[in-house]
Amino acid sequence: MNWSEFFHMGGYAFEVWTCWGLTLAVLIAFVIYPKRRKAKIRGEILRQISREQLDQENQGS
Amino acid sequence: MNPLTIIWNFLSNTYHRLGSPREFYTISLYTTPVFGFLFLVLSLFGTYFGLFVAPADYQQGDSFRILFVHVPVAWMSLFVYVVMATAGAIGLIWRMKMAFVVTICSAPIGAAFTALALLTGSIWGKPIWGTYWVWDARLTSELILLFLYFGIMAVYYAFEERKTAEKATALLSVVGVVIVPIIHYSVEWWSSLHQGPTVFAEGGPKMPPEMLLPLAFMAIGFMFFYGYALFLSMQARVLDNERKSRWVKEIVSGKTN
């Protein structure tokens, strides 16, 4: 079996590759989105921590 | 100690540890990559055997290769629902904080699997059935499942107060579990264009091993994907919910992930 035959999928190229492509896209989205959200929340928490440290230093002086 | 006591102690210990957001977060940092890795390995094997090794179907030609994504996502649409509703029930009965997080983080994943099952089935239906859509029992009940997932997500965002929102979401998911047997038996109770049980059929699978093997790889792989995506999403939510607590600040500012 050669590659062009493989991509042709016996005449069902559109159906087969759309279904596999859609599934792959959804899987990738459900990995990227929570990772981004986690990074964003970590950033917010870090900024909050540095704000609290600044407050403490100001009170100390 | 007898083995039953050991198993019971282990289970109750795990339950209590996973019940605490902090313990869950620490444990999930190790288990999440393992789930992701197992998903990757299984789905790559499944893809290889499904697209290259399995022979074309004698009736449907190569179009049957949609089966290797359609069937796993359709199974997952029900599996995720059962996990989500069970977690909702545990949260309501034993007031377990983390159970609600499982319910809320599962809903979008389940909705995505349901939408994929409907879309891939529809694209597959066009050449084989001659139509994208029919209002028959299997397709209609699966569409209701999609709306149920949307409803569950909407209920969570409809309440201002988080604890109320969590309880309402869990309650709706528990009540909605009635859809699962309806979808499963729809092809037996009503006449349907959709084919009946093929893998878990009476008298064993009606499918040759060259097709059954990649399907099994994909199905188990997708279960690990659910675990992977669920834990990633739960980690983000736990950090968000517990952002004021000391352990979160320690983990975020420290060297640990």
Interface pTM, i.e. ipTM: 0.90
> Which chain B residues contact residue A49 at CB under 8 A?
249, 252-253
Closest chain B residue to the Cα of A37, Cα to Cα: B236
Give pLDDT, residue B257.
47
Q: In whole angstroms, what is the distance from residue B236 CA to residue B105 CA?
A: 10
Report phi then psi at B160, rounded to 5. -70, -45
> What mean pLDDT is predicted for residues B153-182?
95
Alpha-carbon distance B212 to nearest alpha carbon in chain A (angstroms): 18
Residue B226 token pair:
């659910």
Closest chain B residue to the Cα of A23, Cα to Cα: B116
Q: What is the per-residue pLDDT across B5-16, written as a single tens digit (0 to 9) for each?
A: 988 888 888 887
Alpha-carbon distance A7 to nearest alpha carbon in chain B (angstroms): 10
Alpha-carbon distance B240 to nearest alpha carbon in chain A (angstroms): 6
Domain ranges of chain B: 31-234
Kindly state the helix (H) or strand (E) to which residue B106 belongs, with its residue range. helix B97-129
- Give me the architecture of the B31-234 domain, per CATH: Up-down Bundle (1.20)
Alpha-carbon distance B9 to nearest alpha carbon in chain A (angstroms): 33
Q: What is the per-residue pLDDT across B223-252, written as a single tens digit (0 to 9) for each?
A: 999 999 999 999 999 999 999 999 999 999
Closest chain A residue to the Cα of B52, Cα to Cα: A6
Closest chain A residue to the Cα of B36, Cα to Cα: A31
One-character DSSP codes across B118-186: HHHHHHHHHHHHS-S----HHHHHHHHHHHHHHHHHHHHHH-SSHHHHHHHHHHHHHHGGGHHHHHHHH
pTM summary value: 0.91
pLDDT band at A56 (very low <50, low <70, confident <90, very high): confident
CB A15 within 8 A of CB B66: yes
Whether residue B35 has pLDDT greater than 90? yes
Q: What is the per-residue pLDDT across B190-201, written as a single tens digit (0 to 9) for each?
A: 878 888 888 888
Tell me if chain B has a CB within 8 Å of the CB of A20: yes
List the beta bridge partners of residue B57.
B61
How many A-B residue pairs are in contact by the CB < 8 A criterion?
Answer: 90
Tell me if chain B has a CB within 8 Å of the CB of A47: no
> Which chain B residues contact residue A7 at CB under 8 A?
none
SS3 B20: coil
